[in-house]
Amino acid sequence: MANVIVIGSQWGDEGKGKITDLLSRSADVVVRYQGGVNAGHTIVVQGQTFKLHLIPSGILYPGTECIIGCGTVIDPQVLIKELEQLEQLNISTKNLLISQTAHVTMPYHRLIDKASEDKRGNHKIGTTGRGIGPTYADKSERTGIRMLDLMHPEELRKQLKWTINYKNSVLEKLYDLPPLDPEAVIEEYLGYAERLRPFVVDTSLKIYDAVQKKRNILFEGAQGTLLDLDHGTYPYVTSSNPVAGGACVGTGLGPTMIDRVIGVSKAYTTRVGEGPFPTELEGEIGDILGDRGAEFGTTTGRKRRCGWFDAVIGRYAVRINGMDCMAITKLDVLDTLDEIKVCVAYEIDGQRTEHFPSSARQFARCRPIYQTLPGWKVSTTECRTLEDLPKKALEYLKFLAELMAVPIAIVSLGASRDQTIIVEDPIHGPKRALLHADGTPVAV
């Protein structure tokens, strides 16, 4: 039995969807603990592509319970579309549960998100425009609407009348936008409430119960470590806590009940939105990574910025999340390169540092110090064991594991479920995964 958290160790889009989908095979319960419809997972099963924003990918396994935890923010319109998409494909949604204390994204949140980005000019964050920041801001300000509120029509009506009037003054006076019609919004959300009512429960109780019954629970993080509100590259972050610690707060489960943390990293780095990115490649190699890796956002379709693997960020993610092992994704994207660089440290104001700076201003001044490794120049997409990999690709992986001082449990070489090397199953395997084919630990 193991309760495992899967987190992104970079700026999101690490390919967590595929890894959580794979691990969901061994999980009885899959829980999403933060974020909202800013996230997007693309999963390819038997040639069919699924794009999920809120519903955990475990829904694709009949019998797996899927929970959207209290740390998430829920846009009911998108969630209902997702339910319909799955139901049309004959995928049962009866095992889905939604936390009654998760906050709800309202139309004014989306409007304010977009309008405030426009007002920021050069200081814009590059948000997904899905109303995420304003929904979490209301949660902190204690004016938010929760799933529980949606379940009580008369009280919701009163609460929304007040809130929409208040938000209308913000829309009109601050952003020059037309006001929302309170009645129309109330009716719209009352409709959503009835559709979602069967799914809404006290999920923390369900999760605790699953722990007591020694069921395998997989906690699925959205976005990534560097987008964390507290530990990321603030202010260019999202408004929730994607780090492993967020799984406890965002589900209501105590930390002593978590067994393992697996971090997912791409074999290179990508970022969407604004903010510093030391290993960013703006020329031909950046384009090769972007094209071969199909680096466009699942949610917004925006082109992702691409760069070399950054081990300073990697080590930071290991520390902040308490990672015990990692999954490396998209190794195949590097297949055609003559040589591959890895950032092993930064130079900042003439000094070498191996630590990630907590100040955004300092981070913006960091210059990467690279070590160059030879490329392998053959396709890895058909490799299914470590022994199948070209020697130089294996050396690249070993180098990453040594730099980050955690073993590699999974290597992904394409979008399909079978394009994967499972070195050790992080749910059923021993505490430490192994990288070397002879079974010796790479880094402990």
Q: Is 322 in the site for ligand IMP (CB under 6 A)?
A: no
Helix (H) or strand (E) holding 81: helix 76-88
Structure tokens at 218: 């997989």
Q: Is 132 in the site for ligand IMP (CB under 6 A)?
A: yes
Q: Is 52 in the site for ligand IMP (CB under 6 A)?
A: no
The neighbour count for residue 290, using CB atoms within 10 Å, is: 18
Torsion angles phi and psi, residue 48, rounded to 5: -100, 130
Catalytic residue among 13, 21, 149, 324: 13
CB 67 within 8 A of CB 206: yes
Among 69, 107, 133, 286, interactor with ligand IMP by CB under 6 A: 133
Spatial separation of the C-alpha atoms in residues 305 and 247, rounded to whole Å:
28
Q: Give rounded-to-5 percent helix, strand, coil for the chain.
A: 35, 20, 40
Considering only residues 386 through 425, tell me which ones interact with ligand IMP, judged by CB under 6 A: none
Considering only residues 229 through 248, tell me which ones interact with ligand IMP, judged by CB under 6 A: 236, 238-239
Based on CB atoms, which residue is closest to ligand IMP, 235 or 255? 235
CB 6 within 8 A of CB 225: no
Spatial separation of the C-alpha atoms in residues 406 and 435, rounded to whole Å:
10
Spatial separation of the C-alpha atoms in residues 84 and 82, rounded to whole Å:
5
Considering only residues 354 through 373, tell me which ones interact with ligand IMP, judged by CB under 6 A: none
Spatial separation of the C-alpha atoms in residues 429 and 427, rounded to whole Å:
6
Among 127, 135, 163, 321, interactor with ligand IMP by CB under 6 A: 127
C-alpha triplet 43, 5, 135: angle, nearest 5°: 75
Catalytic residue among 28, 41, 53, 324: 41
Interface mask toward ligand IMP for 263-282; x: CB under 6 A? ---------xx---------
Interface mask toward ligand IMP for 205-224; x: CB under 6 A? -----------------xx-
Minimum distance from residue 312 beta carbon to ligand IMP (Å): 19
Strands (E), 317-359: 325-329, 339-348, 351-353
Among 44, 77, 126, 370, interactor with ligand IMP by CB under 6 A: 126
By rule CB under 6 A, what count of residues binds ligand IMP? Answer: 20
Minimum distance from residue 242 beta carbon to ligand IMP (Å): 9
Closest CA to 326 of 59, 6, 1: 6
Q: Tell me, yes or no, if 13 is annotated catalytic.
A: yes
Minimum distance from residue 318 beta carbon to ligand IMP (Å): 20
Based on CB atoms, which residue is closest to ligand IMP, 106 or 393? 106
C-alpha triplet 176, 37, 290: angle, nearest 5°: 100
Spatial separation of the C-alpha atoms in residues 409 and 414, rounded to whole Å:
16
Based on CB atoms, which residue is closest to ligand IMP, 52 or 218? 52
Interface mask toward ligand IMP for 106-125; x: CB under 6 A? -------------------x
Closest CA to 26 of 320, 259, 202, 324: 259
Residue nearest to ligand IMP (CB): 273
Q: Which residues are part of the catalytic machinery?
A: 13, 41
Q: Which residues bind ligand IMP (CB under 6 A)?
A: 12-13, 38-40, 125-128, 130, 132-133, 222-223, 227, 236, 238-239, 272-273
